[in-house]
Structure 1
Amino acid sequence: MRLQFRYIRDTSNPFELPDEKFLKLFRLNKEATFSLIEELRGLVEEPTRKDTVPFYLQVFASLIFFSSGSYQTNIGEDLNIGISQPAMSRAINRISNLISTHLLASYIKFPTSEIEIRK
């Protein structure tokens, strides 16, 4: 007998967390996180498979990983996100590439100062 579960149930909504806990987990406030999700969502095509991890959960899972540096398996199980380690790895790779390719230059500015050479 084979069970056929072909979709991922989203049982959590991280935006319902208290502000302090949200900021501690994701290192961004809710407004910044929502803006990031919306900006990144505009850069990707909607998935055609029903069993794909929702895009916003990929962003949340990646943000937790970026903020904690913990193991991917533990993060995928955190907050009832329910992402396997391989799916977590793909999400981190995808979100990292999107941020570095499309948003890096807009949001991260390195100082340009001349270094004084002392003799």
Structure 2
Amino acid sequence: MAISIAILDCDLLLHGRGQKTLDRFDLDSVSDHFLLSQFGFPRHFILYLVELLREALCRRTQRSRAISPEVQVLAALGFYTSGSFQTSMGDTIGISQASMSRCVSNVTKALVEKAPQFITFNRDPASRDQNFQEFQRVAGFPGVLGVLDCVQVTIKAPNSEDFSFVNKKGFHSVGCQLLCNARGLLLSAETWPGGLKDTEILERSALFKQLQDIEDGWLLGDCRYPLKKWLMTPVDNPETPAEFQYNLAHTTTHEIVDRTFRAIQTRFRCLDGTKGYLQVLY
């Protein structure tokens, strides 16, 4: 089955940094520039995120002096955008590294619960026709509903079933299947053990079930995927001018999903692999 990802560095759960008061950070007391430079997002978005997740973050703990939703969100954003649990980040908002880890886990789980509100493969006629038009303007490829790819994100070896997360390159990872529209916005995002092939992930995904009854349009996938009535792939060993033109239009259009993931990695440095590994929790 698909797996949910929460981001933790378990080594840091073992190391606190002393007791601090829980009235530790006042969002209104800092400048917009400080929030953007430290947490990667402007004030209005941070406040929006706090309100969106407030109920979920409050119900995740029954501690009488729980960390506020505001601090939990800032801790998570600080980690997502820096990829680090360094002491300086915890000091900024006045919590220990162990608390940072718990906050990141709580916020991540709450975001996963909310994701279907924002990441949706909408197949109504109006959305379909808009996708057709926007994709055709990219490179002239007609009938495109979305561009599909699967990328590997390195993780620490899980405590159980670690063999299923070992990918073909020999390291532990999760396979992230992404579907984007012409503007690079996510229409679908699912995570699976990295030991599965891209085709296996697709066939087990919720997206696959949605695609079986498509009558108009198709997705674009690279050569790792099989050709299907709803999935167009490049022509192997093109020979005719038409085949070369088809492959060029396919490649140019499919690059959108690659650019999307690179943009996500750039914004969320926790995914770029240089700041350590992600930990998968169930």
State whether TM-score is above 0.5.
yes
One-letter amino acid of the structure 2 residue matched with residue 22 of structure 1: L
| Structure 2 residue aligned with 1:95 | 107
1:1-20 CA-to-partner distances (Å, cap 9, x unmatched) read xxxxx983424323432222
Q: Residues 36-115 of structure 1: matches in 2 within 5 Å? A: 36-44=49-57, 45=59, 47-78=61-92, 81-100=93-112, 102-108=113-119, 110-111=179-180, 113-115=219-221
- Give unmatched runs, 5+ long, in structure 1: 1-5
- In terms of fraction of residues, the more strand-rich structure is 2
| Structure 1 residue aligned with 2:44 | 31
Between the aligned partners of 2:70 and 2:27, the Cα distance in structure 1 is 10
Q: Are the structure 2 counterparts of residues 103 and 46 from structure 1 closer, same or farther at C-alpha, using a change threshold of 3 Å?
A: closer
Question: Are the aligned partners of 1:76 and 1:84 in contact in 2 as well (CA < 8 Å)?
Answer: yes
CA RMSD of the aligned region, Å? 2.6
One-letter amino acid of the structure 2 residue matched with residue 111 of structure 1: C
Look up the SS of the partner of 1:8 in the other structure: coil
Give the greater-gyration-radius structure (CA).
Answer: 2
One-letter amino acid of the structure 1 residue matched with residue 97 of structure 2: Q
Between the aligned partners of 2:105 and 2:86, the Cα distance in structure 1 is 12
| Structure 2 residue aligned with 1:117 | 234
One-letter amino acid of the structure 1 residue matched with residue 65 of structure 2: D
Q: Are the structure 2 counterparts of residues 76 and 111 from structure 1 closer, same or farther at C-alpha, using a change threshold of 3 Å?
A: same
1:28-86 CA-to-partner distances (Å, cap 9, x unmatched) read 211111111111012342754333222221111111111111225332112xx221121
One-letter amino acid of the structure 1 residue matched with residue 114 of structure 2: L
Between the aligned partners of 1:51 and 1:111, the Cα distance in structure 2 is 42
Matched residues, number: 111
Question: Are the aligned partners of 1:72 and 1:89 in contact in 2 as well (CA < 8 Å)?
Answer: no
Given candidates 23, 39, 50, the residue that maps to 1:10 is: 23
Between the aligned partners of 2:61 and 2:111, the Cα distance in structure 1 is 19
Provide the TM-score with structure 1 as the length reference.
0.74
- In terms of fraction of residues, the more helix-rich structure is 1
Between the aligned partners of 2:25 and 2:98, the Cα distance in structure 1 is 20
Percent of pairs identical after alignment? 26
Q: Are the structure 2 counterparts of residues 72 and 105 from structure 1 closer, same or farther at C-alpha, using a change threshold of 3 Å?
A: farther
Provide the TM-score with structure 2 as the length reference.
0.35
Between the aligned partners of 1:73 and 1:93, the Cα distance in structure 2 is 18
